[in-house]
């Protein structure tokens, strides 16, 4: 993609040149050449945003232009979408209305611009509201026109590319939302390239040092990888030439974010990631009907050259993924004894893989009608969830995220119909996917004619028969078994309904009891009952009474009338992080509170940790970790690791309370607990060597040591007191020098 040279150019020249580039890009596509309407949209938007600058100092119109270029080049959409991208901020940021857009550009563009305006949180203004709420709006809009979400993803991609000009706290909030919402959404829509870039950019802002380290390591090993690629593909080229195919061979390098993710989840160093390189064969089919056969012919011919891995053939050709992705993946043993994945795709499949659903339009005559079979299914599921939304925005987000999977399994009904389910789906999920009635009366299932419980995880190729009973009712623990959004939403709705009727019944019972005992129905009396039964809310109490779990009697009467010590407990709940109440008897509350400026980077000093800040127990960050602060309702700052799951939710839903933070403790006297995972070959005295290194050589205190040996391999966890991340690195380096110690990693508890 050509980049504009900004130097020595007036704003007008820069804008005109960028628009000309957009037109040239559009004219190079297969879409109908509707230059006039695009020019009209550009002139209108340029006039509307005149004189307004972005934070980076460039004219505001450069943002809509950049989004339109992404929409055209990277997503492959036509004039309607390009116009909508150019106009997407006009209604939000100027006095023009959707009606004005409709009068000038027609109902279709107006509808898309309206959709984009509805879901805009004003992320770059002060109107940044909870993203979860915006996401709900976004999905509602999506169901009317998929282009809304595609343009929104393009908008987010440009925002991520220009994130450097924003305040640090804003950067963390936007990067967090991007990883949590937009990257999975792009993935689900098949926009693989964009999903990868969004993940990489988010990672770059959240963990700049680790990003740089991996980037340097990738550069250092590039020549070696190139040599492997040339050696591996030389015989493949010969084979493909013999078949008379037009093709190109590409090396695909694992993205920086994927590498880091694998290092975290598998606890392995960079050097032990062996699938950095994959090979892509992109071919022109001999004729349209032979496309699938050609894929398998290529597979057969290359598997004569290299031995294929028996368990790693992925046939997405016969069964495309729900996001439309089609390819044949095979893993071959390369000449250097290394497994290399080969992805076989036709040009059409490659376009679908890069541009997702938008590529389907490219293969329609004149970029016209849209075929969205799988997408329609997905949107239907989302509509079902939206019909019965969770009251809590975060629950809702989690429920939706369950549906943003890319890995699917294929299962069969007893009659042989094929059903696509997400990976890890259970028999209960399958029951709800058939019908809510079947799900709610489900007592078990037969998988491949064998009886299994509802929690049984299904595998691809299973044949599943659901067993039901009229007397069966939905159980609360089903929420643990269910993994799909639809099943969880339905179970929650049924449980809520039952809870409501139990509350109603409980209210009648409780009122009758109070009337009989001549006790006034006052809140202080309810509080005494809550305290007696150790229940937090009046609703819970009523439900328990309604279900018959609590029988009201003399004990309740005495507790209300104060005839016994009712052991009053205050239930203080904090949103996230540390549950230690700030409301203790310590005199620190009277000390003057430090006023925190959310626009500045907060320095975490030793003194501040003890007085003002709380270290989150969910991820236990230590000095040197990439962290952020979250200001709770009491203006206490809770410090989380940036990749901690709780922090991810906070960035997404409470972005305005996020504070950019940085350690300033140097070598403090404070000690922090960390967990190390250690693995190696068992030998006499190995544990003695480990403890000697930690305690004697490095003078680090061990708090806990758990070790197990199994068939000559030992593995265990060591809990240590350290001052900062440098201490951890020193311990790990020293331990790895002990003979027979093979792996040492820092892990969460």
Q: Please, is 246 exposed, middle or buried when counting C-beta atoms within 10 Å of its C-beta (0-12, 13-18, 19+)?
A: exposed
Q: Please choose, from the candidates 631, 598, 591, 626, the residue with its C-alpha nearest in 3D space to the C-alpha of residue 614.
A: 631
- Say whether both 270 and 311 belong to one domain: yes
Both tokens assigned to 326:
């089609």
Residue 475: inside a domain = no
Residue 375: inside a domain = no
User: What pLDDT does 215 receive?
Assistant: 93
CA distances from 502 to 499, 507, 510, 553 (A): 5, 9, 12, 19
Which of 11, 21, 58, 93 is the catalytic position?
93
User: What pLDDT does 131 receive?
Assistant: 57
Query: Taking a C-beta distance cutoff of 8 angstroms, is the pair 661, 627 a contact?
Result: yes
- Say whether both 638 and 591 belong to one domain: yes
How far is it, in rounded angstroms, from Cα 570 to Cα 181?
A: 36
Which residue range(s) make up the domain with 537? 493-560
- Say whether both 656 and 676 belong to one domain: no
The domain that contains 739 carries what CATH number?
3.30.70.260
User: What pLDDT does 357 receive?
Assistant: 67
End-of-domain residue from the set 364, 383, 408: 364
Q: Please choose, from the candidates 484, 469, 427, the residue with its C-alpha nearest in 3D space to the C-alpha of residue 451.
A: 427
Q: What are phi and psi of 569, to 5 degrees?
A: -120, 135
Q: What are phi and psi of 656, to 5 degrees?
A: -75, -15
Both tokens assigned to 632:
């709770």
Residue 66: inside a domain = yes
- Say whether both 636 and 677 belong to one domain: no
What is residue 16's DSSP assignment? H
What is residue 694's DSSP assignment? I
How far is it, in rounded angstroms, from Cα 197 to Cα 205?
A: 12
User: What pLDDT does 201 receive?
Assistant: 94
- pLDDT < 70 positions in the chain: 1-8, 119-144, 357-358, 360-407, 553-595, 609-611, 667-669, 749
- Say whether both 49 and 184 belong to one domain: yes
- Say whether both 123 and 163 belong to one domain: yes
- Say whether both 59 and 146 belong to one domain: yes
Residue 124: inside a domain = yes
pTM beyond 0.85, yes or no = no
Query: Taking a C-beta distance cutoff of 8 angstroms, is the pair 438, 520 a contact?
Result: no
User: What pLDDT does 454 receive?
Assistant: 87
Within 10 Å of residue 279's Cβ, how many Cβ atoms?
21
Query: Taking a C-beta distance cutoff of 8 angstroms, is the pair 191, 355 a contact?
Result: yes
- Say whether both 137 and 98 belong to one domain: yes
Query: Is residue 626 annotated as a catalytic residue, yes or no?
Result: no
Both tokens assigned to 339:
């497994």
End-of-domain residue from the set 206, 239, 273: 206
Residue 457: inside a domain = no
Query: Is residue 715 annotated as a catalytic residue, yes or no?
Result: no
End-of-domain residue from the set 613, 645, 663: 663
Query: Taking a C-beta distance cutoff of 8 angstroms, is the pair 478, 490 a contact?
Result: no
Both tokens assigned to 549:
């779990």
Positions of E strands within 291-391: 314-315, 328-333, 339-346
Half-sphere exposure of 701 (CA within 13 A, CB side): 8
User: What pLDDT does 394 receive?
Assistant: 59
Both tokens assigned to 76:
């492959």
How far is it, in rounded angstroms, from Cα 518 to Cα 521?
A: 9
Both tokens assigned to 176:
């967090």
User: What pLDDT does 656 receive?
Assistant: 79
- Say whether both 87 and 182 belong to one domain: yes
Query: Taking a C-beta distance cutoff of 8 angstroms, is the pair 37, 54 a contact?
Result: no
Helix (H) or strand (E) holding 199: helix 192-206
Both tokens assigned to 694:
């930690």
Which of 16, 92, 398, 715 is the catalytic position?
92
Helix 192-206 with 168-177: angle, nearest 10 deg: 150
- Say whether both 178 and 37 belong to one domain: yes
DSSP string, 33-97: --HHHHHHHHHHHHHHTTT-B-TTSSBTTHHHHHHHHIIIIIS---HHHHHHHHHTTHHHHSS--
- Convert 625-685 into a string of H (helix), E (strand) and C (coil): CCEEEEECCCCCEEEEECCCHHHHHHHHHCHHHEEEEEECCCCCCCCEEEEEEEEEECCCC
CA distances from 189 to 202, 353, 436, 632 (A): 19, 10, 27, 35
User: What pLDDT does 49 receive?
Assistant: 87
End-to-end CA distance of the chain: 45
Cα 610 from chain centroid? 33
Paired strand residues for 409: 421
Q: Please, is 484 exposed, middle or buried when counting C-beta atoms within 10 Å of its C-beta (0-12, 13-18, 19+)?
A: buried
Residue 237: inside a domain = yes
Query: Taking a C-beta distance cutoff of 8 angstroms, is the pair 542, 506 a contact?
Result: yes
Query: Taking a C-beta distance cutoff of 8 angstroms, is the pair 347, 282 a contact?
Result: yes
Half-sphere exposure of 673 (CA within 13 A, CB side): 15
pLDDT in tens, 148-160: 888 989 999 999 9
The domain that contains 96 carries what CATH number?
1.10.3210.10
What is residue 693's DSSP assignment? I
Give how many domains the chain has, as a whole number.
5
What is residue 2's DSSP assignment? -
Q: Please choose, from the candidates 300, 297, 318, the residue with its C-alpha nearest in 3D space to the C-alpha of residue 461.
A: 318
How far is it, in rounded angstroms, from Cα 398 to Cα 412?
A: 28
* Residues whose CB falls within 8 Å of the CB of residue 527, separated by 6 or more in sequence, listed in order: none
Length of the chain: 749
Q: Please choose, from the candidates 659, 668, 648, 653, the residue with its C-alpha nearest in 3D space to the C-alpha of residue 613.
A: 659
- Residue listed under structure tokens 């709610």: 440
User: What pLDDT does 444 receive?
Assistant: 87
What is residue 543's DSSP assignment? H
CB crowding 561-595: b at 16 or more within 10 Å, else e = eeeeebeeeeeeebebbbeeeeeeeeeeeeeeeee
- For residue 19, the SS3 value is helix
CA distances from 567 to 528, 531, 677 (A): 9, 7, 43
- For residue 136, the SS3 value is helix
Residue 473: inside a domain = no
- Say whether both 21 and 143 belong to one domain: yes
Q: Please choose, from the candidates 627, 677, 671, 666, the residue with its C-alpha nearest in 3D space to the C-alpha of residue 647.
A: 627
Residue 391: inside a domain = no
- Say whether both 548 and 592 belong to one domain: no
Q: Please choose, from the candidates 135, 144, 136, 158, the residue with its C-alpha nearest in 3D space to the C-alpha of residue 112.
A: 144
Cα 717 from chain centroid? 29
Query: Taking a C-beta distance cutoff of 8 angstroms, is the pair 465, 445 a contact?
Result: yes
pLDDT in tens, 304-342: 999 888 888 888 888 887 777 889 999 998 887 888 999
């Amino acid at each position: 993609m050509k980049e504009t040279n900004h130097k020595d150019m007036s704003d007008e020249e820069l804008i005109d040149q960028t628009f000309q580039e957009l037109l040239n890009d559009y004219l190079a596509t297969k879409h109908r050449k509707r230059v006039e309407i695009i020019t009209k949209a550009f002139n209108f938007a340029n006039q509307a945003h005149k004189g307004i600058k972005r934070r980076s100092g460039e004219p505001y119109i450069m943002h809509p232009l950049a989004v339109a270029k992404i929409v055209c080049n990277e997503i492959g959409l036509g004039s309607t979408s390009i116009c909508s991208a150019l106009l997407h901020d006009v209604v939000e940021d100027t006095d023009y209305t959707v009606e004005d857009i409709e009068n000038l550009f027609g109902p279709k563009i107006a509808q898309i611009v309206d959709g984009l305006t509805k879901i805009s949180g004003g992320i770059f203004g002060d109107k940044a509201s909870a993203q979860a709420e915006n996401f709900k709006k976004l999905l509602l809009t999506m169901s009317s026109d998929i282009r809304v979400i595609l343009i929104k993803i393009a908008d987010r991609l440009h925002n991520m590319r220009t994130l450097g000009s924003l305040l640090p706290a804003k950067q963390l909030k936007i990067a967090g939302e991007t990883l949590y919402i937009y990257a999975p959404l792009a993935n689900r829509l098949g926009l693989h390239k964009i999903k990868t870039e969004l993940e990489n950019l988010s990672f770059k802002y959240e963990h700049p040092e680790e990003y740089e380290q991996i980037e340097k390591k990738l550069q250092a090993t590039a020549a070696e990888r190139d040599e492997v690629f040339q050696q591996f593909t030389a015989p493949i080229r010969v084979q493909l030439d013999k078949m008379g195919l037009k093709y190109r061979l590409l090396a695909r390098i694992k993205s920086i974010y994927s590498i880091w993710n694998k290092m975290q989840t598998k606890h392995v160093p960079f050097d032990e990631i062996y699938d950095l390189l994959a090979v892509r064969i992109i071919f022109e089919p001999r004729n349209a009907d032979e496309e699938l056969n050609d894929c398998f012919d290529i597979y057969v011919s290359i598997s004569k050259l290299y031995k294929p891995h028996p368990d790693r053939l992925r046939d997405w050709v016969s069964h495309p993924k729900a996001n439309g992705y089609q390819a044949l993946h095979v893993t071959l043993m390369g000449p250097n004894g290394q497994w290399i994945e080969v992805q076989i795709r036709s040009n059409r499949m490659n376009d679908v893989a890069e541009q997702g659903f938008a590529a389907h339009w490219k293969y329609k005559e004149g970029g016209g009608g849209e075929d969205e079979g799988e997408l329609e299914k997905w949107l239907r599921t989302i509509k079902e969830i939206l019909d019965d939304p969770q009251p809590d925005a975060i629950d809702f987000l989690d429920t939706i995220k369950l549906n943003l999977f890319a890995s699917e399994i294929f299962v069969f009904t007893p009659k042989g119909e094929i059903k696509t389910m997400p990976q890890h789906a259970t028999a209960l999920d399958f029951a709800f996917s058939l019908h809510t009635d079947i799900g709610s009366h489900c007592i078990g299932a037969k998988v491949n004619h064998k009886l299994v419980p509802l929690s049984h995880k299904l595998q691809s190729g299973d044949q599943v028969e659901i067993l039901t009973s009229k007397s069966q009712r939905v159980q609360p623990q089903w929420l643990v078994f269910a993994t799909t959004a639809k099943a969880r939403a339905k179970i929650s709705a049924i449980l809520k309904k039952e809870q409501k009727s139990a509350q109603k019944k409980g209210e009648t019972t409780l009122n009758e009891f109070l009337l009989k005992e001549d006790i006034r129905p006052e809140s202080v009396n309810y509080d005494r009952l809550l305290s007696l039964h150790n229940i937090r809310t009046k609703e819970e109490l009523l439900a328990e009474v309604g279900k018959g779990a609590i029988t009201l009697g003399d004990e309740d009467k005495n507790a209300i009338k104060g005839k016994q010590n009712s052991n009053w407990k205050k239930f203080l709940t904090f949103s996230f992080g540390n549950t230690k109440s700030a409301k203790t008897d310590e005199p620190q509350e009277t000390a003057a509170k430090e006023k925190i400026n959310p626009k500045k980077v907060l320095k975490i000093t030793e003194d501040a940790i003890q007085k003002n800040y709380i270290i989150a127990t969910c991820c236990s960050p230590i000095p040197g970790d990439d962290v952020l602060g979250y200001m709770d309702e009491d203006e206490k700052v809770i410090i989380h690791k940036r990749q901690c799951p709780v922090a991810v939710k906070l960035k997404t839903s409470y972005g305005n309370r996020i504070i950019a933070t940085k350690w300033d403790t140097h070598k403090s006297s404070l000690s922090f607990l960390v967990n190390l995972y250690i693995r190696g070959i068992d030998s006499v005295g190995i544990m003695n060597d480990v403890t000697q290194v930690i305690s004697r050589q490095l003078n680090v205190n061990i708090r806990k040591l758990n070790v197990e040996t199994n068939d000559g391999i030992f593995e265990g966890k060591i809990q240590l007191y350290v001052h900062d991340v440098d201490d951890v690195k020193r311990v790990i380096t020293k331990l790895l020098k002990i003979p027979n110690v093979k792996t040492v990693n820092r892990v969460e508890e």
